[in-house]
Structure 1
C-alpha cells in the first residue's frame, strides 16, 4: 500500500484538492464519494486529518471504516 505524509493527507481536505481523505489507526481512507463528507467536514470533524483520537466522541464504532476504501498508510 502506498504511503503518505501528514502534509499530503492534509491537502485532501475537500478544499485544496478534489479528494477527501481521512486516516484512522495509520490507514488512509478515501471518503470522497460519501455524502457525509462532501464538503470535507463531517459534523465537527474535518477531512485531511488522522481521526483516531476523535473516534471516542463519535456515535459509531470503528466498523464504519469498513464502508470506505483504504488507499494508503500514514507515515
Structure 2
C-alpha cells in the first residue's frame, strides 16, 4: 500500500515513458514504478535489456534473470512511485483465482458420477 507521500501512476502513464515517445525510461517491478533512465549505461548487461521492458511491467523478466540482492537494493534507489491500487498486478491475479471449476468424476459406467466444486484449480489437482 502506498504511503501519503508516495506518487501513484496509472499503467497508461508508465507506458508513456518508454524511451521512444518520451526520453525517460520507466519500468514496473512488483507494482512499484522506477525511473531507470540514468542507469541504462551502467547496467552490466547493457541498457537494451532494460529498454526491452520500458514502459512495462518488468517483474517477470527481472526475477527470471535471477538478480542478486544487491541489484534489488540498487533498484530501490530508482523508485519514483507505485502503480495505482486498482491496476496492480496482484489485483488481476486475485480476481482470476476466485473463479471456480466443477469436475465430474466417474469410476465406472454403472456408478453415479460425483461432482466436486473446486475453489482453486491449483490446489485441487483434479482440474486440468
For this pair of structures, how many residues does the alignment match?
Answer: 72
Gaps of 5+ in 1: none
Q: Which residue of 2 aligns with 1:72?
A: 81
| Mapped pair 1:14 → 2:19 | yes
Q: Per the alignment, in what secondary structure is the counterpart of residue 19 of structure 1? A: coil
Give the ranges of 4+ consecutive aligned residues of structure 1 lying more than 4 Å apart after TM superposition.
none
Please identify, of 52-61 and 14-23, the stretch whose mean Cα deviation from structure 2 is larger: 52-61
Gaps of 5+ in 2: 1-5, 85-128
Higher CA-based Rg: 2
Q: Tell me the TM-score normalised to structure 2 length.
A: 0.48
Does 1 or 2 have the higher relative contact order (CA < 8 Å, sep 6+)? 1
Q: Which residue of 2 aligns with 1:26?
A: 31
| Mapped pair 1:48 → 2:64 | no
Q: Tell me the TM-score normalised to structure 1 length.
A: 0.76
Give yes or no for contact 2:27–2:36 (8 Å, CA) kept in 1: yes
Give yes or no for contact 2:18–2:51 (8 Å, CA) kept in 1: no
Structural RMSD (CA)? 2.2
For residue 13 of structure 1, report the CA deviation from its aligned partner.
0.7
> Cα 1:6–1:29, aligned 2, differ >3 Å: closer, same or farther?
same
Q: Per the alignment, in what secondary structure is the counterpart of residue 54 of structure 1? A: helix
Query: Could you list the per-position Cα deviations for residues 16-57 of structure 1 after superposition, in whole angstroms to 9, with x for gaps in the alignment?
Result: 1111111101111110111143xxx41683211111122342
